[in-house]
């Protein structure tokens, strides 16, 4: 990794891109500390506790939600809009046609995604206001103050879409992903300080700290391994004659990453798990909310074994579902047939589609099980260890490793064009 960055720094245009990216990241982090006026942030501590949906939002916003800065929503509306648009491409024929129209179709879908993100930003900013007002976090509840909060959060979220695009076009890596990456790693120093403080206060002993750090290192190695792991489906292309020349058949493969849909699966699962609790917060004294948060039989009660088990099962299901929806075995089999390709031992057409679907099913269950273990690791740490209040975030680890590897791949591809040797070989 260091050799890749060192070689990239030697290339003049890549050096400019790296400096531009670093400059934009600094500006972005400064914006995370500009507060929205009229908010008592001390009342938001309960909303951002470990395992909650708002805790996840606070994680990927780099603490902006707990500080309630202008970037409190981050790029979450854009992420939600992107996921919805991908699902609509399967359910709505017109969107599916656009996805097959090449670059022009993708540009239109991207435009619709941005419009959807603005709408979701308005809805989410209003929902955020409604929830924080329930906790008494608003010093001023006048209509003008409410309007200014919604306007500020929506405008800032829309601005971050443009901000991420500038990094993608003029910098290095995917801008939106890098913003989330920087937000997540910005919380690592505070986590380390918290662990050191607990050790000094003798809440945990030195051996427990070593075991905790060792567990995180093992998780990191496992995430890197799964992020790089692939299931390669072999494909044989028949020979053909074109322009009086005979081209021999070629062997290739379809690489399918084992961890491709893990993060999406976790996002869907945590949204489902926290939805009843979020609804219950609007009516805190209702029987429904008391059952969700207080009953020993409720699967939505934080830090319970029922919650962890349900969370684990939903992560596997949504990972499997999203993998089959996005990869589209029928389209893959059809495109392979049009290119005179076939899987050795499998007949073209429907049998090929069924084979690909079977492979995707096995891979998605395996990847979903791994993502589920990573997702419930903080819950286990909270419930059965002495590390209370330490949210090291298995989901954040998945995101940071994925973004880091993707950025390094992009740098490495640029270096290969200039005959440099990078990290990925």
Q: Which of 10-14, 69-73, 105-109 is predicted least confidently?
A: 10-14
| pLDDT one-digit tens code per residue, 22-67 | 999 999 988 888 888 878 777 776 666 544 567 777 777 777 777 8
Residues sharing a CB contact under 8 Å with residue 378, sequence separation 6 or more, in sequence order: 50, 51, 391, 392, 393, 394
Q: Specify the 3-state DSSP secondary structure of 231.
A: strand
Closest Cα partner for 359 from 375, 376, 346? 346
Residues of the chain with CATH 1.10.3370.10: 1-186, 187-425
pLDDT band per the 50, 70, 90 thresholds, residue 198: confident
Name the fold adopted by 1-186: Preprotein translocase SecY subunit (1.10.3370)
For the CA atoms of the chain, what is the radius of gyration?
Answer: 24
CA gap 332, 62 in Å, rounded: 38
And the tokens for 360? 């995707």
User: Among 143, 147, 140, which Cα is nearest to 125's?
Assistant: 147
Residue 187 and residue 67: Cα distance in Å, rounded? 13
Tokens 């910005």 label which residue?
186
Start-to-end CA distance of the chain, whole Å, equals 12
Instruction: Report d(CA 362, CA 19) in Å as an integer.
Output: 43
The correct CATH number of 187-425 out of 3.40.50.300, 3.30.230.10, 1.10.3370.10, 1.10.238.10 is 1.10.3370.10
Report the greatest alpha carbon distance in the chain: 81
Q: Structure tokens of 412?
A: 């490495």
- Read off the pLDDT band of 159 (50, 70, 90): very high
> What is the share, in percent, of the chain residues with pLDDT greater than 90?
4
pLDDT surpassing 70 at residue 413: yes
Q: Is the pLDDT of residue 425 over 60?
A: no
Residue 406: band (very low, low, confident or very high) from pLDDT cuts 50, 70, 90: confident
Token pair of 115 as six digits: 């419009």
Q: Choose between 384 and 97: higher pLDDT.
A: 97
Sign of CA dihedral 66, 72, 74, 79: positive
The residue that leads in pLDDT, 261 or 388, is: 261
Mean pLDDT of 270-294: 72
Q: Decide if pLDDT at 423 tops 60.
A: no
Distance separating alpha carbons of residues 169 and 180, to the nearest angstrom:
17
The pLDDT > 70 percentage for the chain reads 87
The answer to whether residue 420 scores a pLDDT higher than 60 is no
CA–CA distances in Å: residue 387 to residues 130, 200, 213: 32, 13, 11
Q: Are 174 and 168 in contact (CB under 8 A)?
A: yes
For residues 132 and 19, what is the distance between their CA atoms, to the nearest angstrom? 38
Neighbours of 125 (CB within 10 A): 23
Token pair listed for 207: 């051996």
Q: What tokens were used for 64? A: 């902006």
The number of C-alpha atoms within 13 Å of 409 and in the hemisphere containing its C-beta is 9
Distances (CA, A) of 82 to 10, 172, 268: 36, 21, 13
Alpha-carbon distances of 211 from 185, 206, 388, rounded to whole Å: 21, 9, 15
The answer to whether residue 281 scores a pLDDT higher than 70 is no
């Amino acid at each position: 990794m260091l050799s890749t960055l060192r070689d990239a720094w030697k290339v003049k245009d890549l050096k400019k891109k790296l400096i531009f990216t670093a400059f934009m990241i600094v500006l972005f982090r400064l914006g995370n500390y500009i507060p929205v006026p009229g908010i008592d942030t001390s009342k938001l501590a309960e909303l951002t506790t470990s395992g909650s949906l708002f805790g996840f939002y606070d994680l990927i916003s780099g603490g902006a939600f707990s500080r309630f800065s202008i970037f409190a929503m981050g790029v979450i509306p854009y992420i939600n809009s992107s996921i919805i648009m991908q699902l609509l491409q399967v359910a709505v024929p017109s969107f599916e046609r656009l996805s097959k129209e090449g670059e022009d179709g993708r540009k239109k879908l991207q435009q619709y995604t941005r419009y959807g993100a603005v709408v979701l930003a308005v809805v989410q900013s209003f929902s955020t206001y409604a929830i924080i007002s329930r906790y008494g976090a608003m010093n001023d509840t006048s209509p003008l103050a409410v309007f200014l909060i919604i306007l500020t959060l929506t405008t800032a979220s829309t601005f971050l879409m443009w901000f991420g695009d500038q990094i993608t076009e003029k910098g290095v890596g995917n801008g939106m992903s890098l913003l989330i990456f920087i937000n997540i790693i910005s919380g690592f120093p505070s986590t380390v300080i918290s662990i050191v403080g607990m050790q000094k206060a003798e809440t945990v002993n030195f051996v427990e700290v070593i075991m905790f750090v060792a567990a995180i290192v093992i998780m990191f190695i496992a995430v890197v391994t799964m992020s790089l792991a692939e299931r390669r489906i072999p494909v044989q292309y028949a020979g053909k004659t074109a322009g009086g020349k005979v081209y021999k058949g070629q062997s290739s493969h379809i690489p399918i990453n084992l961890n491709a849909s893990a993060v999406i699966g976790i996002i869907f699962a945590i949204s489902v798990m926290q939805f009843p609790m979020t609804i219950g917060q609007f009516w805190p004294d209702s029987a429904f909310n008391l059952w969700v948060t207080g009953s020993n039989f409720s699967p939505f009660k934080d830090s319970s074994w029922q919650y962890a088990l349900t969370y684990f099962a939903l992560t596997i299901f949504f990972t499997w579902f999203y993998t089959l929806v996005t990869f589209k075995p029928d389209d893959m089999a059809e495109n392979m047939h049009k290119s005179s390709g076939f899987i050795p031992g499998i007949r073209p057409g429907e049998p090929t589609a069924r084979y690909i679907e079977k492979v995707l099913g096995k891979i998605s269950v395996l990847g979903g099980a791994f993502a589920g273990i990573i997702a419930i690791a903080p819950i286990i740490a909270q419930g059965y260890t002495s590390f209370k209040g330490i949210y090291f975030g298995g989901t954040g680890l998945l995101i940071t490793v994925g973004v880091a590897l993707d950025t390094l791949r992009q740098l490495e591809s640029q270096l290969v064009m200039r005959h440099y040797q990078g990290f990925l070989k």
